[in-house]
Chains A and B, each alone.
Chain A
Amino acid sequence: SQQGEEDPQALSIQEGENATMNCSYKTSINNLQWYRQNSGRGLVHLILIRSNEREKHSGRLRVTLDTSKKSSSLLITASRAADTASYFCATGSSGGYQKVTFGTGTKLQVIP
């Protein structure tokens, strides 16, 4: 069963613009993570936000978490062609990483 649902499924923007992806989930969580997957590669961990945090930054990434709405957003500022990838949210509950559930992803295309 899937916990996270990303929105939109696909996003195409011009280089330099900001990209926003959203994730909604169904049950209570301990943390929420975002991963990036380049075509033909494995997932790469980007950022983790805990359930008691509301916002977190890492470089050009900004993640927000609204536990009352069971949603999170990932903002990539000043996008680059190299940001072209699929982005997945993954929700974790207590009980170890085997409890982490992945969403279906947002495919981002950044046009140079």
Chain B
Amino acid sequence: DAGITQSPRHKVTETGTPVTLRCHQTENHRYMYWYRQDPGHGLRLIHYSYGVKDTDKGEVSDGYSVSRSKTEDFLLTLESATSSQTSVYFCAISAGSEAFFGQGTRLTVV
């Protein structure tokens, strides 16, 4: 999986609690992305980063924030989790026109 590690792989959390997902890469790529995957929607971009401390919003950014303090780490935070944020979350890095994906984090908000 191209040196991308997501943690945790599975998480169950309660509505209203904060949650942070971590993506770690060993490839030293500048661009990193967070997607969510839901049935019937394919992958949708939440946020992306184009460098340390440089981030921007994607298609479905409401309710999510990100931080990138080091090249290798990109964090996705749900400030106050809601049931609509139950999903599988994927981190990706890109090299040119191709992307490499992590194995995903399955998040359930109850």
Interface residues of A (CB under 8 A from B): 1-2, 4, 31, 33, 40-45, 48, 88, 92, 96-98, 100, 102-105
Contacts and interface: CB of A to CB of B under 8 A. Distances in A.
A2 B98 contact: no
B48 interface: yes
B56 interface: yes
A92 B97 contact: yes
B31 interface: yes
Given A43-B90, A105-B42, A100 B104 contact: no
A92 B101 CA distance: 17
B70 to A, nearest CB: 20
Interface of B: 1, 4, 31, 33, 35, 40-45, 48, 50, 56, 58-59, 90, 92, 94, 97-104
A1 B44 CA distance: 9
Given A42-B90, A42-B102, A42-B104, 16 more contacts: A31-B97, A33-B98, A42-B4, A42-B103, A43-B90, A45-B98, A48-B97, A88-B43, A97-B33, A97-B94, A98-B31, A98-B48, A98-B56, A102-B44, A104-B40, A104-B41
A43 B91 CA distance: 10
Contacts of A88: 42-43
B52 to A, nearest CB: 17
Given A88-B43, A103-B42, A44 B101 contact: yes
B4 to A, nearest CB: 8
A61 B25 CA distance: 29
Nearest to A50: B97
Given A42-B90, A103-B42, A97 B31 contact: yes
Contact of B59 (A1, A42, A48, A92): A1
A65 to B, nearest CB: 14
- Smallest CB-CB A-B distances: 8 pairs: A42-B101, A97-B94, A102-B43, A102-B42, A104-B42, A43-B101, A98-B48, A45-B98
